[in-house]
Amino acid sequence: MQFIDLLTQKDRIRKSLLHRLEAIIDHGQYIMGPEISELESRLAEYVGVKHCVSCSSGTDALLMPLLAKGIGRGDAVLTTPFTFIATAEVITLAGAVPVFVDVSPETFNIDPSLVERAVEEAHEHGLRPKAIIPVDIFGLPADYSRLEAVADTFGLWMLEDAAQSFGGSFRGKRAGGFGLCGATSFFPAKPLGCYGDGGAVFTDDGELDGLLRSVRVHGSGKDKYSNDRIGINGRLDTMQAAVLLEKLTIFDDELEERQRVARSYSEKLKDVLRVPSVPEGYCSAWAQYSVLADSSGERQIMMQALQAEGIPSVIYYKIPLHLQKAYASLGYREGDFPVSEELSRKIFSLPMHPYLREEEIERIATVIGTQKK
């Protein structure tokens, strides 16, 4: 059994994808070919925003807006410690300091009620709080109604980390469309993934769109040899754009299948483990299906039992960012973010993809249920 099944998906698009790749080989525009603008147009339309800027990874999609907005030394950017390090890493790479905000025990997303304290903490350390990066963890959008209100209160602009949530939505608005801009990832394991690294930034702000396009190509001005600012080499390869264009043709169908898998898991496991909570008005893209055991010991027993049956499982995330060695200099200690720390001790993720069969879900649930008795 596979944790994520990319081979079955590949068989659905193989013929049309090969035609697209052959067209690229024929026209020879391997960097910024016509498929790039086609993809950006399709993605912007899908999310419901005016502009989409594709780029070389989800990490660069987070970094580029920070550089475009001039985030740097002396600035603080708020984010969650319960995420992959890239979310905080880009803050550091831009020269600013990440200030962490604990997450909600229900959704695992950043808790809006704790933002004010983080702003105060930034000021106490002589920092200027400038922005906030909520994370749509495991595919579930954050609470953007409350977050937008609190961000406005404290003068923060918001960068949505939609690396895991492309295809998800909150009150009818699609992930990637919140805040000043949203960033997503096309890493192969994501709900919409390419065959390498890739990412995109979404925004309705025309000025920011222009700045992002400059930052993406070494801070270019009127041409790539006129450099108006410091940027990066952040372009998306044309062939990856072709992969994404073909995957978009089956994406809505795959999202429906992810909902089916999640519903089946939750029905079979709700009396055994704590299953994910999706509040009313939200739609998760189900990048991961993550459950909570009663303890770290129980988690270990269940994961070992699954492994013995050839069923993969993964821990996202076993060490919250404030306890990572890379951020020891920030001075955080164990106990500072209790919800994130408890999640890290108890959480684990089960196979999740659109091609997971009902009998496979039943088998997974049976193995887990047996260990609970």
Cα–Cα distance for residue pair 168/281, rounded to 1 Å: 11
Handedness of CA 40, 83, 313, 348 (dihedral sign): negative
48: left (phi over 0), alpha (psi -120 to 50) or beta: left
Q: How far apart are CA 82 and CA 270, in angstroms?
A: 23
Give CA separation, 34 vs 175, 210, 240, 241, 245, in Å. Answer: 26, 19, 12, 9, 12
Task: Look up residue 97 and give its two tokens.
Answer: 């300091």
Active site residues: 190
**164 vs 85: CA distance, rounded Å:** 14
CA distances (Å), origin 335, targets 115, 184, 318, 322, 347: 18, 31, 15, 10, 17
Peptide bond into 144 cis (omega under 30): no
Task: Spell out the residues 6+ positions from residue 84 whose beta carbon is closer than 8 angstroms to its own.
Answer: 163, 316, 317
Backbone angles phi, psi at 226, to 5 degrees: -110, 115
CB 212, CB 266: distance < 8 Å: no
- Strand ranges for the chain from DSSP E: 51-55, 75-79, 97-100, 128-133, 157-161, 169-170, 173-174, 181-185, 199-203, 282-283, 289-292, 347-350
Q: Which tokens hold the place of 74?
A: 């002396």
Environment class of 334 (CB within 10 Å of its CB; exposed 0-12, middle 13-18, buried 19+):
exposed
Distance CA 4, CA 370 (A): 24
Give the integer Cα–Cα distance in Å for 13 and 39.
Answer: 16
- Alpha carbon distance, N-terminus to C-terminus of the chain: 24
